Structure 1
Amino acid sequence: MTITTTKSAHAMTAGEVTRAIIERKPLFILDVRNESDYADWKIEGGIVESLNVPFFDLIDGVEDVLPRLPADRDVLVVCAKEGSSVFVAEQLAEAGIEGVRYLQGGMKAWSEYLEPVKIGDLKDGGELYQFVRMGKGCLSYMAISEGEAAVVDTLRMTDVFEDFAKAKGAVIKHTLDTHLHADHISGGRKLAENSGGTYWLPPKDADEVVFDYHPLDDQSRINVGGTSLSIRPIYSPGHTIGSTSIIVDDRYLLSGDILFVESIGRPDLAGNAGDWADDLRNTLYSTYKELSDDLLVLPAHFGKTSELGEGGRVAARLGDLFASNPGLNIDSEKAFRKTVTTNLPAQPNAYQDIRRTNMGRVQPSDDEQRDMEIGPNRCAVHDK
């Protein structure tokens, strides 16, 4: 591991922070962003404790904050892009705080880091991986079989998927979006173009897109690695009108933003909460009920780090979710509609601009895309 040194303050990468959370290592964070930014979005999970003291309160010295820092563990200083945290970390080191570190790349790097986690082996000897975006709560998937790969709900950091497939000796043949995303910018089309693969999108979500795509619907049959790995789409509206779940290898249910480990999707991000509430209930209580209880549910997002399981993976058996997930145990249609249409959390930051970007109607710069995605995902009815 390469350590960047500034006096006695060392860098800590987003990957190291992610693994600390997964492994439940104690971590104390001094977040020097503005109070409003901290309140909206911060590093959480595992055994993380944090303190917010804005940078401008520390410019003239760190003496006042020293008594509030723990003596029994390292301190990680966090800011938006890195510079302010380096300055504060230097001051803390000079004040005698040992083991002080700063987040390399700041919250920008935290938002973009992806941690690949193996979900399991496939029947033909292939593998299925989940890519955990800890800082945003996004989840992507790569199925690999016989030197070919398919990527589902690709994030805009397409180089991560390209490098991973290359390391596995696989060529990306397909990219699929389970729906038109509103909380993050899809990298599916770009990844398909880069790899020479096919980009799939549910046609009922594509009324306003301005690019070519291959329609993902119940009639689609996608094979990876010859005929060894079958990907079967299932129309499952509710989060969007075109939301489509994907069954991989007859063992895994990629549920998009319809069903999460601890909650269910929200139907309001295109302004149709009332219309789509009934679709959402039908998908969850009828379409999903007809599927095998033994399918492993793999969602496109998680809202809380409590949804992380062994090794950091986010997954649950469908039958277990019907027993434990509150969103699958609402007795009446009236109560369900109220749950998914009232008192919802704030909508994702810049979600309208993100939707227009995913339609191909605007082409923001890389920096603009990063700014649009800053903050939590808020795709579930419980994300606050």
Structure 2
Amino acid sequence: MSVNPMTAKEVATKVVNKESFFLLDVRNEDAFQDWKVEGENIQYLNVPYFDLLDGVGEILPKLPQDQEVLVVCAKEGSSIMVAEMLSEEGKTVAYLKGGMKAWSEHLEPVKVGDLKDGGELFQFVRIGKGCLSYMVVSNGEAALIDATRMTGVYTDFAQEIGAIITHVFDTHLHADHISGGRKIAEATNATYWLPPKDAQEVTFRYQPLEEGQDVTIGNTTITIQPLYSPGHTIGSTSFIIDESYLLSGDILFIDSIGRPDLAGLAEDWVGDLRETLYTRYKELSDELIVLPAHFMIMEELNDDGSVSEKLGTLFAKNHGLNIEDEAAFREMVTGNLPPQPNAYQEIREMNMGKISPDEEKQREMEIGPNRCAVR
């Protein structure tokens, strides 16, 4: 029997459609427990590759009899070998092409709304990493927000829809993933915007992004309005787009809130976080559609694979927005901080322009889940 390669896009489609499938992960147990392909109807078996070198006979009773088995490893090599052994035993089997590295890098564009004058808003879902980025399109121009390092996805998509990228924004200096914003801006001759309070150590030129500096896209009525919203970082800035959408960066998520400690200043910034969430955001319209820069759990995805919710709904249901006592809020935030993101100090330095690791090193720096939330 043959072994079928399955792309990250194909696996993502299964996850979004909540299809049932069986996944055999042959990475070490600690890697599997830390980060894996997640989905609502996935059955898992984790057996390290080295335990299967002498054959797959012992795990055959644990595998489904009438269902394809998807084998996953870090880069694909080990999964191909295990898949071939299973195929020789008569199993219907596939492997994840490119392994978990490919899963980490896959981006899926989803249209999330129509804007004025024929404009459109797209969300790019990085399903394996939980990152969300955005493209605002109007009258042949496009603006990017929180682009990842897979820059070709954005430039190719803009070309496909006939748009020229003229503005690139980062809501803050990222610590969990490498920004592609500056690289895209240089390639397209777009203006690169960055909050100046987060940019004090950067080594490159940028356009300071501050509240009150509204940016119009495509010479139409579509505006991107910066809203200073510190707490995740000292410079964190949200955006109100077309008076309808709130791009909340790493401050507010669907099921959680942002963490204030990635610069080592949790006790200092937790007050800023509360001020942003409980005062600045509270003054906004409940009808704004919140579009965050991350999601933490698969349940946050909508049926079409996008991630969004009305601000009023989040104020009613998000636990992080409903802690009246400030001391209790501080304790909840500082007492529930997850582990630091993988290589986050190096990622910050790269986003400052201080280091320039090669492509393979960048991939290694980003391996693992995003850890930007307090839940």
TM-score normalised by the chain length of structure 1: 0.97
Contact 1:26–1:73 (8 Å) recurs in 2? no
Runs of 4+ in structure 1 over 2 Å off: none
Q: How far, CA to CA, are the matches of 1:192 and 1:90 in structure 2?
A: 44
SS at match of 2:116: coil
The letter for the 2-side match of 1:28 is: F
1:112-127 equivalent positions in 2, closer than 5 A: 112-127=105-120
Q: Which residue matches 2:218?
A: 225
Q: Which residue matches 1:73?
A: 67
1:330-376 alpha-carbon deviations (Å, 9 max, x no partner): 11000000111113110101001100110001111110000000000
User: How many pairs does the alignment contain?
Assistant: 375
The runs of 5 or more residues in structure 1 that have no matched partner are: 1-6
Contact 1:151–1:172 (8 Å) recurs in 2? yes
Q: How far, CA to CA, are the matches of 1:373 and 1:293 in structure 2?
A: 35
Q: How far, CA to CA, are the matches of 1:360 and 1:114 in structure 2?
A: 24
SS at match of 2:258: coil
The runs of 5 or more residues in structure 2 that have no matched partner are: none
SS at match of 2:85: helix
The letter for the 1-side match of 2:13 is: R
Q: Which residue matches 1:33?
A: 27
Contact 1:263–1:380 (8 Å) recurs in 2? yes
The answer to whether structure 1 residue 184 and structure 2 residue 214 are counterparts is no
Contact 2:139–2:220 (8 Å) recurs in 1? no
1:282-327 alpha-carbon deviations (Å, 9 max, x no partner): 0000000000000000000001111001201100000000000000
User: Shift in Å at residue 61 of structure 1?
Assistant: 0.5
The answer to whether structure 1 residue 136 and structure 2 residue 91 are counterparts is no
Q: How far, CA to CA, are the matches of 1:27 and 1:246 in structure 2?
A: 38
1:224-258 alpha-carbon deviations (Å, 9 max, x no partner): 11133100000000000000000111100000000
Q: Which residue matches 2:76?
A: 82
Aligned with 2:239 (options 218, 242, 246): 246
Q: Which residue matches 2:370?
A: 377
Q: Which residue matches 2:87?
A: 93
SS at match of 2:42: strand
SS at match of 1:310: coil
Aligned with 2:252 (options 237, 250, 259): 259
1:5-84 equivalent positions in 2, closer than 5 A: 8-84=2-78
User: Shift in Å at residue 49 of structure 1?
Assistant: 1.6
Q: How far, CA to CA, are the matches of 2:228 and 2:67 in structure 1?
A: 49
C-alpha root-mean-square deviation of aligned residues, in Å?
0.8
SS at match of 2:373: coil
SS at match of 1:314: coil
Q: Which residue matches 1:355?
A: 348
SS at match of 1:312: coil
Q: How far, CA to CA, are the matches of 2:64 and 2:373 in structure 1?
A: 35
Contact 1:23–1:46 (8 Å) recurs in 2? no
The answer to whether structure 1 residue 236 and structure 2 residue 229 are counterparts is yes
SS at match of 1:303: coil
TM-score normalised by the chain length of structure 2: 0.99
User: Shift in Å at residue 73 of structure 1?
Assistant: 2.0
User: Shift in Å at residue 381 of structure 1?
Assistant: 0.6
